[in-house]
Amino acid sequence: MPDLCNLLERLSNEFGPSGRERSVRALIREEIAGQVDRIEVDALGNLIAFKEGTGPAPRLRVMVAAHMDEVGVMITQVQKNGALKFRPVGGLDSRLLLGKRLVIGDERIPGVIGAPPPHLQTEAQAGKPVGLDELFIDIGAENDKEAEAKVKVGDYGTFATRFTVLSRDKGWPTVRGKAFDDRAGCAVLAGLLAERYPVDLVAVFTVQEEVGLRGARAAAYRVEPDAAIALEGTVCDDLPRPEDEDTTPVTRLGHGPALSLMDRSVVVHPGLLRLLQETAEAEGIAIQYKAPAIGGTDAGAIHLTRGGVPSAVVSTPCRYIHSPASILNLNDLENVLRLVAAALRRIERAHLARM
């Protein structure tokens, strides 16, 4: 088993909002270079790695995708007083932005989303969220001239969170960091490349998922796979939740790989779902099902490519995704890797047929 914790740490700390994934791409490229037959970067910036299978030809071509991009911000205006106005890139909740530390641009200029102190708060403001239009980023510049020497309109920003191990307990090893959606998937996908499978594996590290599954659409068109699996870091809302509430969370931390049945972007192919279920059973891997009808993934774009591609989604539960700090359980991450690797050893043409 590759050291997923170390890999996830480096991936999580890297800068890669949608449309500016190049640092993440460079890191992954270096990481997997010795393990694949060929690497290409396409026009949109997808990193596509080919690893030929060991089975007899004609072999199935299986595309496994994880997206490199994370949610972030883009600078839209430098104000006279040196404050930076911005807009979100991808799905950001403006309620959680106040007071957060960011890094901006390719020079990683540090900044903070300014928050007025409570001393100045009026009764009318108390307890109310601050809207996006009122928020600004402060990089400590004296005025617009000084700010523009460091940051330009169009520069991206991401949260400045550094990866931290929270628990080394083997039964419950947890880590905290930003961008687990979808660096968790990237870590698994890079880990999958340690092995050669009977099928031809095409590992695609995609771009611009958070702004509309854009990289995956073009990559799937190019790769023309027989089947596809999207790897995600997905919603985990087992906390906060009243102890006695009789509901099912979207996923639960530590309960294993989350298989999707249907989300807003795809109805998972029944044959591939069966493959994953059989594989989990045979390997003794506990799985859970992601609550239906929530979110969308690269599989949404991939399965509609050309004449259609049987597609499935396997996710690592991540608490607080799209925030400055997510938490995941490394056992879940390792079990996603074990499950998908075993499924790639097991997949046959029969899994792709419709009745």
Distance of closest approach, residue 354 Cβ to other proteins, in angstroms: 5
**Residue 310 in the binding site for other proteins (CB under 8 A):** yes
**Residue 309 in the binding site for other proteins (CB under 8 A):** yes
Q: Which of residues 191 and 295 has its CB atom nearest to other proteins in the complex?
A: 295
CA distances, 312 to each of 132, 215, 230, 260 (Å): 35, 17, 6, 7
Query: Which is nearest to 178 in space by CA: 193, 209, 157?
Result: 157
Catalytic residue among 21, 31, 209, 232: 209
User: Under 8 Å CB-to-CB from 278, ≥6 apart: which residues?
Assistant: 346
Stretch that binds other proteins, among 41-49, 152-160, 235-243, 304-312 (CB under 8 A): 304-312
Q: Which of residues 111 and 249 has its CB atom nearest to other proteins in the complex?
A: 249
Distance of closest approach, residue 269 Cβ to other proteins, in angstroms: 8
Between CA 271 and CA 262 the distance in angstroms is: 14
Distance of closest approach, residue 302 Cβ to other proteins, in angstroms: 11
Q: How many other CB atoms sit within 10 Å of the CB of residue 196?
A: 15
Q: Which two tokens stand for residue 329?
A: 């359980």
Distance of closest approach, residue 355 Cβ to other proteins, in angstroms: 6
Q: Quick check: is 210 catalytic?
A: no
User: Under 8 Å CB-to-CB from 336, ≥6 apart: which residues?
Assistant: 184, 188, 231, 257, 314, 315, 316
Q: Which two tokens stand for residue 107?
A: 């020079």
**Residue 289 in the binding site for other proteins (CB under 8 A):** yes
Distance of closest approach, residue 197 Cβ to other proteins, in angstroms: 21
**C-beta separation of 269 from 355 below 8 A:** no
Between CA 259 and CA 326 the distance in angstroms is: 20
**Residue 96 in the binding site for other proteins (CB under 8 A):** no
Site for other proteins in 233-252 (CB under 8 A): 246-248
Stretch that binds other proteins, among 175-183, 204-212, 276-284, 289-297 (CB under 8 A): 289-297
User: Under 8 Å CB-to-CB from 342, ≥6 apart: which residues?
Assistant: 279, 282, 283, 285
Query: Which is nearest to 96 in space by CA: 108, 84, 111, 113?
Result: 113
Distance of closest approach, residue 323 Cβ to other proteins, in angstroms: 23
The CA-based diameter of the chain, rounded to the nearest angstrom, is 73
Q: Which of residues 117 and 307 has its CB atom nearest to other proteins in the complex?
A: 307
**Residue 291 in the binding site for other proteins (CB under 8 A):** yes
**Residue 99 in the binding site for other proteins (CB under 8 A):** no
Site for other proteins in 199-218 (CB under 8 A): none
Per-residue contact flags (x/-) with other proteins for residues 250 to 269, judged by CB under 8 A:
-----------xx----x-x
User: So which residues are the catalytic ones?
Assistant: 209
Residues that bind other proteins (CB under 8 A): 246-248, 261-262, 267, 269, 289, 291-294, 303-310, 352, 354-355
